Amino acid sequence: MTAGSLARRLNSEIQRLEFLRGSVGILLAWLFACMLLGVLVWGVSLAKIQSDRAEIEKNTFTKAAQLSKAYTEQLSRSIDQIDQITRNLQYDWQTFHGALKLEDQLRQGLYPRSAQIYASIVDSHGTIVTSTLDMANAPNIVDRDYFIFQQLNLDNHLRIEKPGTGGRSGRKVIRFTRRLAKADGTFDGIVVVGVEPAFLAAFTDASSLGTSDSLAIKDMDGDVLAAKMGDRIRSLPSIFRSPQIFESGGGVKRMPGDKFIDGESRIIAWQKLPGYPLVSFVGLSDAAAFAAYQSTADNYRNIAIAGSLLLLLLAAVGISFLSRLAWRKFQVNEVKNTYQLAIDGAHEGFYMVRALYDQQHNVVDFVIKDCNDQGASLVGYAKDELVGKKFSDLYSGAVAQRVLAIFRRAMEVGFYEDEFKPFHNNPQHTIWMSRRLVRSGHGLAMTIRDISETKSHEQALLKMANIEALTALPNRHWLMKFLPNALNQIRNRNGMFAILFIDLDNFKIINDTLGHDAGDELLQEAALRLQSVLRPVDRVVRLGGDEFTLLLDSVSSQEEVAQVAARINRKFSLPFEITEHKKVVSVGTSIGISLFPRDGNDSATLLKNADIAMYSAKAAGKGQFRFYGEQFSEHGIEC
């Protein structure tokens, strides 16, 4: 290959590469389409993965709830059985007293040793008088906590002790005790039924538990009385790092791994046993529930990866084809497209700018190559003054950096559109402009137009919708949009919010006697007085007529709100001077107050309750304020 042909080949490739930079929009569109398909493939795959996970999670929650319910029912029957034994022994002892021999009942098979249940009767001195356990060396239990409790407790309630080691059996037992009383009600001893924890932990559906699952019975302090643990965690005394107290009567939820000794998250379900201070608990391992799911999820991911690789190949082939097709039209269309951009929307400002590069081919500045008269006028220059200037000549400091960043971005992606306020004044006093940048070759075509009138119209409509004309206060429409968001914010901060519903006393009389102009002047003065008592974060709203609403944000107490209401009443105890009639009139205020969250959780409830309280204040003699309370009827009159 000769040097001349090599040079021509190199020049051709350079032109082709320059063209590709200018045609980035077409290429990006094809690339975007392929990427969109890729996103779709991944979206479907991930949606399926998520759907399968959600289904497994739902089934695990259902399984936990069902196991908890079944275990609770079984526990309830077991505890009822133990409770019935204590009641029978109490009745037999109080009926037959010394004739009751538990040793004989044991020999008759009434207490099988395999039942894991032991019974004893203790007299009022703490001596075990009869028992299903060996009576040899039977200790005196007069100093035991459960004996002292029953001695002092006059109620005939079953007491359930925390697990402890039995002195005679040598085994861990849970003691159930009940008080014995003589005919005159005095203390006569206690019934003690000891149950091994395994008796309560036995579960007929234990095969449903995995190696990291557990079930347990807890007291109201969160301490475990009995538990059945899966094979992997069988050696642990409890799966929880610390005692867990469940506030509600029952439920199902996921708890993170930091709550458990083995660091494994679980779905737990619990229920309080009816009639007893006990809670049943079932914990199912997350890892075990989702073990089979992981393999399916990996298959979906592999399918998505294969689809992505295929789309990548399709994108490369498509970009190559589009590049060759566009190259044939490039030389003819480049000039045509540039001037077509200039004539589109000729009533707008038009500019052609060219990028300036440093040695590393980074864009460092732009120069204005051409513009129309409208474009020069919009930025406060004549056309001959603007053409040929660099951006660095027109802008400086932070403004220059911002403008350069916008134009660099347009060069990178091929298109940019926004609305902005000019950085400096111009003869036409433009406030808002719309800007559109389109890359063309080594530069940008920009159009701008004045949209100030449209913006002003939008702002005027917004003001008309939300501001009451007479007093320039926010109106009811504004209030109903603002209040829900304000309540959400104060709810997130666990704070207090106050609504004061204010009615002007005797306003109708003044309005009827002096006329509406006087009434309007009075309302304007009233609005100013209300604003004078508020903090910057508080708001005054005119609902209509002589009704106003005050919104007090983040108040610390009811007393603080009462102080504001008192200040308002004092302000309005001073007379008003009606300028047009040269008359002095007096108008008081009746104020009803509702507090969030005490008096309601939503806007409608709080406004209604404040209105009710206001009518109660007015009925009490006007010039007063009242907080909403349950003593008010729907009409605001005290019950």
Q: Could you tell me which residue, 166 or 538, shows the higher pLDDT?
A: 538
Reported pTM: 0.44
pLDDT of 251 > 50? The answer is yes
pLDDT of 637 > 80? The answer is no
Per-residue model confidence (pLDDT) at position 551: 92
Distance CA 22, CA 406 (A): 18
Residues near 267 by beta carbon (within 8 Å), at least 6 away in sequence: 57, 60, 61, 64, 252, 253, 254, 255, 283, 284, 286, 289
Per-residue model confidence (pLDDT) at position 343: 45
pLDDT of 497 > 90? The answer is yes
Mean pLDDT for the stretch of residues 290-298 = 75
CA distances from 324 to 41, 173, 319, 539 (A): 29, 87, 9, 65
Give the H or E element holding residue 237: none
Distance CA 399, CA 401 (A): 5
Mean pLDDT for the stretch of residues 337-360 = 70
Mean pLDDT for the stretch of residues 116-139 = 86
Give the model's confidence band at 498: pLDDT under 50 very low, under 70 low, under 90 confident, else very high. Answer: very high
Distance CA 57, CA 617 (A): 55
CA 558 from centroid of its chain's CA atoms: 28
- 344-454 sits in which CATH class? alpha beta
Mean pLDDT for the stretch of residues 170-194 = 89
Give the least confident one: 83-87, 169-173, 352-356, 522-526.
169-173
Highest mean pLDDT among 110-124, 422-436, 476-490: 476-490
Give the model's confidence band at 463: pLDDT under 50 very low, under 70 low, under 90 confident, else very high. Answer: low
Per-residue model confidence (pLDDT) at position 117: 86
pLDDT of 335 > 50? The answer is no
Per-residue model confidence (pLDDT) at position 605: 93
352, with CB counted inside 10 A (0-12, 13-18, 19+), is: buried
Give the model's confidence band at 562: pLDDT under 50 very low, under 70 low, under 90 confident, else very high. Answer: very high
Contact criterion met (CB below 8 Å) for 364 and 356: yes
Give the model's confidence band at 389: pLDDT under 50 very low, under 70 low, under 90 confident, else very high. Answer: confident
Highest mean pLDDT among 20-29, 90-99, 136-145: 136-145
Q: Which fold has domain 467-627?
A: Alpha-Beta Plaits (3.30.70)
CA distances from 526 to 101, 471, 507, 530, 544 (A): 89, 9, 11, 6, 13
Per-residue model confidence (pLDDT) at position 634: 47
Give the model's confidence band at 296: pLDDT under 50 very low, under 70 low, under 90 confident, else very high. Answer: confident
Per-residue model confidence (pLDDT) at position 294: 75
pLDDT of 608 > 80? The answer is yes
Per-residue model confidence (pLDDT) at position 457: 65
Distance CA 543, CA 526 (A): 13
Per-residue model confidence (pLDDT) at position 638: 46
Contact criterion met (CB below 8 Å) for 425 and 378: no
What's the N-to-C CA distance of the chain in angstroms? 108
CA 50 from centroid of its chain's CA atoms: 21
Domain residue ranges of the chain, discontinuous segments joined by +? 344-454, 467-627
Angle at 498 between CA 496 and CA 500, to 5 degrees: 175
DSSP 494-525: T-EEEEEEEEETTHHHHHHHH-HHHHHHHHHH
Mean pLDDT for the stretch of residues 25-44 = 82
Distance CA 36, CA 33 (A): 5
CA 106 from centroid of its chain's CA atoms: 61
Rg (CA), the chain: 42
pLDDT of 331 > 50? The answer is no
Give the model's confidence band at 636: pLDDT under 50 very low, under 70 low, under 90 confident, else very high. Answer: very low
In degrees and rounded to multiples of 5, residue 150 shows phi and psi of: -65, -30
Give the model's confidence band at 345: pLDDT under 50 very low, under 70 low, under 90 confident, else very high. Answer: very low
Q: Give which of 386, 378, 369 is closest to 443, Cα–Cα.
A: 369
pLDDT of 341 > 70? The answer is no
pLDDT of 429 > 70? The answer is no
Contact criterion met (CB below 8 Å) for 123 and 188: yes
Give the model's confidence band at 327: pLDDT under 50 very low, under 70 low, under 90 confident, else very high. Answer: low
Residues β-bridged to residue 366: 355
Residues near 46 by beta carbon (within 8 Å), at least 6 away in sequence: 300, 304
pLDDT of 7 > 70? The answer is no
Give the model's confidence band at 593: pLDDT under 50 very low, under 70 low, under 90 confident, else very high. Answer: very high
Mean pLDDT for the stretch of residues 273-297 = 81
Biggest CA pair distance of the chain:
128
Q: Could you tell me which residue, 78 or 168, shows the higher pLDDT?
A: 78
Q: Mark out the alpha helices in 414-506 (DSSP H runs).
A: 452-466, 476-492
CA distances from 224 to 159, 237, 433 (A): 16, 9, 71
Per-residue model confidence (pLDDT) at position 559: 93
Tens digit of each residue's pLDDT (9 = 90 or more) over 215-243: 888 888 888 888 888 777 777 777 888 88
**Mean pLDDT across the chain:** 81
